[in-house]
Chain A
Amino acid sequence: MQAKKGKVSVMMGNVVAANVARLCRPEVVACYPITPQSEVAETISGFVADGSLDAEIVEVEGENSAMNVVLAASAAGARTFTATSSYGLVYMYDAILQASGFRVPVVMVNVNRETPGIHSVSSGQQDMISTRDAGWVQIIVENNQEIADQLIMCYKLAEDFDIQLPVMMNYDGYYLSYLNEEVEIPEQSDVDAFLAPLKNQPQRPRIIPGASTGCGTHGMEMGYVEARYKHWTAMDRAKQKVDDIDKEFGEYFGRSYGGQIEEYRMKDADIAILASGSAAGTAKTVVDTKREEGIKVGLVKLRLFRPFPEERLIKALKGKKAVGVIDRSICFGWKYGPMCMELKAIAPAIGSMPILSYIDGLANLDITVPHIGRVVDEVSAAAKGKAYQAVTWIPME
C-alpha cells in the first residue's frame, strides 16, 4: 500500500461524494438540485465558491441541461462531474443516450430514488433500472467508504482509452445519502497519483476549434452499425477493467471491494443471496447470523450492474443449490425483479437450481434483518426440494 492515511471523519453520504469528486479535479461541473441529491450540488458549489475546487460550475436550469453541459465539455476534452436522482435522471435521458453514444467519459453520481408514475420522494432503484439500456456503466455501492473509493475508480474506468464510456455510480437515497458514517477521505496527492497514469494514454478525440473535428456525425447504415458494435464491445471490456482497477486500488489504498461482484462467505456456501446497495450491508449481518444457526449461506453483492457481470456470477454461483435475489425495483412486464430476471438469463450456465425473486425496499420501506432472514429460510427450503414462490413482494405479504 502506497497511500498515506487519509482524513477520517464522520460524514454524510452526499457530502462524501462531493468531497471525493473535488479530489478528482473535474474541470466542468453542472448540477441541478433534487432530493436526495441536493447536498452534492450544494457542497460542490461551496467548494467552487471558497476556491477549493478550481472548476467551471454551471448552475443549470434543469437536469437535461446538466447532462448536455458536461457531455459537451467532455467532448471538448474536459474531465466532468454531475449528480442527479430519479426524476432528474429520466429527464436527462436523451442526453444520457447521447453521452454514451458519443463515448464521452462523464462520471455521474445517481442517488437512487423512485421514479415518476406514483409521485414519491423516497429510496428505490427504479431510476437506475429505468436507464439500464442507456449504454452507461452502472455501479452500485454499499456504504459511505465505498462511495468515496468507487468514485475515484469511476474516473479511472471512464477515461481509460480502452473503455471511453460514461459511468454512473449509484447509491441509495436516504439510506446512504443522508447517512452520517465514519469515512476516510484519501489525500489529494494520492488521488492525483492514482489517476495520473491516464495522462500517459493516447488522447481521445476532442472538439478542437479550427481542426474540422465533427462530434455527432450521422451514422449511415454500416457507420451506425460500426459505432454501436464498438460501444457494445467496449462495455464487454469494461467488466475485466472494473476488476483490474479494483485490484490496483486495493494495492494503492489498501481497500478493495471485489470488482464486479463481492463474494461474501460464498466459497463453501450451499445457497446464496444476491443483493445490492445498502441492503447488501444488512444482508451480510443476516448471513453471519444464519451461519451460526448452521445454514451455509453466502452473499453475492452485485456492484457492477451494467455491463452485467455474467462471467463472475457464473463462477460464484455455479453448483449452488438455490439462489434468492432481492430486488429494490420492479421489472414491469416480467414476473421477477429486474436483477432476478437478468440472473435467470444466465441460469443455464449456473445450473438448474431454484432462483427465487424477492421485491422489497420500495419507497423507503426498509429491507430489514427479519425480511432477509425469511429470504434465507425460504431459499434454504427450496434447496431441499420444498415448493417455493417464484416471486414474492415482501411488503405485500
Chain B
Amino acid sequence: MVIKYKNQFKTEAPWSDANQKMLALDTGSWRTERPVLDKSLCNYCGLCAIYCPPQCMKDMGDHYEANLAFCKGCGICAHECPKKAYTMKPEGDFTDAG
C-alpha cells in the first residue's frame, strides 16, 4: 500500500487543540435582520449585552453595538431593551459594506 495521505494529527489519538486551530463560523451570514441602535434612547443598562446568546455585543463605553461578523439576528436584544432603543431591520436594507 502506498500512502499518499499526510497526517493532520501530531498525536496517535485524535485530540483537538484550540492553540493550534481555533474554529469560527461565519454566523453573521445567517442573519435576515440586524439590530440597529438609536443611541439617544440607550441608557447603557447592558441588558442587550447580558442576554445576547452569541455574546457579540461590543462595549462602546456608553452604549453597545452588535459585532456584525457574528450577530445571528435573533432579535433578543431588541425585545429585551427596556428603552426600545433597537429596531430590527431587514438585511436587505444594507449593502455588503453595511
Binding site for B on A (CB under 8 A): 101-104, 164, 204-205, 211-217, 219, 222-227, 230-231, 234
Contacts and interface: CB of A to CB of B under 8 A. Distances in A.
Nearest to B20: A212
A226 B19 CA distance: 21
Nearest to B9: A226
B15 interface: yes
B9 A213 contact: no
B12 interface: yes
B95 interface: no
B11 A205 contact: yes
Contact of B13 (A205, A222, A225): A205
Chain B interface main SS type: loop
A223 B19 contact: no
Given A212-B18, A212-B19, A226 B5 contact: yes
A103 B12 contact: yes
17 contacts: A101-B13, A103-B12, A204-B12, A205-B11, A212-B17, A212-B18, A213-B15, A213-B17, A214-B16, A214-B17, A222-B5, A223-B8, A223-B9, A223-B14, A224-B14, A227-B13, A230-B9
Contacts of A216: 14
B16 A217 contact: yes
Nearest to A100: B13
B19 A219 contact: no
B7 interface: yes
A217 B18 contact: no
Interface of B: 5, 7-9, 11-19
A122 B38 CA distance: 78
A222 B5 CA distance: 9
B5 A103 contact: no
B17 A230 contact: no
Contacts of A103: 12-13
B16 A234 contact: no
A110 B49 CA distance: 55
Contacts of B9: 223, 226-227, 230
Contacts of B17: 212-214
Nearest to A214: B16
B14 A217 contact: yes
A85 to B, nearest CB: 27
